[in-house]
Structure 1
Amino acid sequence: MKRISSAVLASLFFCAGAAQAQGWNNNRGERAQNRQEARQDKRELKDDRRDVRELEDVLARFDAAQARRDERAMRDVEDRLRRLVNAELAEGHQELQKDRAEIRRDNREVRRDGTWDDRKDRRDDMRDYQNERASQSARATIARELSGLVGQRGPRELHRTRTLITQLIDLGRREVHETKQEIREDQRERREDRRR
């Protein structure tokens, strides 16, 4: 009887140890993923801030070219603006792909574990995706309208071009804010993971 009890106890300890090791491995993988996301968020914040500065510079150059009625400077501004908007559209497309991949990963985790944290992560990632999709749509609309205004120098067209540039700056500032919010959420998740 004593041997059976010892065997049962040994198997229980083994199972408990294996379960604990499995949990440790899952947490370690999640911590590594969180660190990667933190690095990515910091790069995005740096890029978002740079984008806003570049758009603010384009606006200042636009205003100076318009005040001087400098056609060459205005063409340079339009070229720079076109390149910036195209880069933003490409970056937004990549961001949408990344957000979709995160949602797929979240869906797998919810199906596998179904914890409250997994569902919350999925909701956060869905919100990020929706925000990025709205920003991408707004940038695409602005890009189409700007392309129709290239080379037009009437007061109404110049005013509209300036308005569209300021809308791009506002979009960029909103993205900076959203990226800061994402960084705070990721920091909170890392603190929660350390407590587990």
Structure 2
Amino acid sequence: MNTMSRISSAFIATVLLSAGVANAQWGNGGERAQDRREIRQDKRELRDDKRDVADLEDVLARFDRAWTRQNEREMTSVENRLRELMQREFAESRSELQRDRAEVRRSDREVRRDGWGRPGMDDRRDRRDDQRDVRVEVATLQTRMAITRELNMVMGSRNQWDLQRQRNLITQLIQVARQEVHQTKQEMREDRREMREDRRDDRRRY
């Protein structure tokens, strides 16, 4: 091999190696950026979930006052407010479900990215956590839908039994909202753990 050929070969090898390192670094940077986005989303969801709990508790307090005073105008206002909250919570639940499903797809990519051999234990655990989050969100959405169907059947009635049923259903909605606060906190812990794992993997690579 002449001198020019050796120089050309060395140059090509250097370029290919540099490109590979750059692509790996870009990929890791993309993962870290995604981790940070998920943490920000978790914080927004937690803030929204806490607001939902407070709003539903306020509705329950207003419901009790309207029932005690037999105030038709206030009771109608309470029921309208409850409908607004349910529409908002349905929208939030669907948005969170889409996000959880996107995280499952991301976890699947990370497991496949491991290449030869078995996927890493951390990636398999992350995928299981994300799949569980989807199941929980689906169950929460279904529970809300069932409660809403029952509410629609008793709203507007001033029969004592229907009013008691409506109150019980509002209480159930509060319990669901509190469970969502707990679930979002758990997802936040998981996302922060994934961020630490990604940083640790970066240090191992470089």
TM-score, normalized by the shorter chain, greater than 0.5: yes
Match of 1:173 in 2: 178
- Match of residue 64 from structure 2: 63
2:125 is the counterpart of 1:125: no
What is the distance in 1 between the residues matched to 2:145 and 2:87? 9
Deviations 1:37-91 (A, max 9, x none): 0111100000000011000000000011011111111111111001111211122
Q: What's the TM-score, normalizing by structure 2?
A: 0.84
Cα deviation, residue 111, structure 1: 2.6
Q: Residue 182 of structure 2 aligns to which amino acid in structure 1?
A: H
Q: Which runs of 5+ in 1 are unaligned?
A: none
Find out whether 1:151 has 2:153 as its counterpart: no
Q: Distance between the aligned counterparts of 1:171 and 1:191, measured in 2?
A: 30
TM-score (norm 1): 0.88
Distance 1:182 1:95 in 2: 11
- Matched with 1:24 is 25
Residue 50 in structure 1 maps to residue 51 in structure 2? yes
Q: CA deviation at 1:184?
A: 1.3
The count of residues paired between Structure 1 and Structure 2 equals 195
Structure 2 residue runs of 5 or longer lacking an equivalent are none
- Identity of counterpart residues, as a percentage? 55
Worse-superposed segment, 32-41 or 108-117? 108-117
Which residue is 1:182 aligned to?
Answer: 187
CA distance in structure 2 between the aligned counterparts of 1:62 and 1:118, rounded to whole angstroms: 47
1:105 positional shift: 2.9
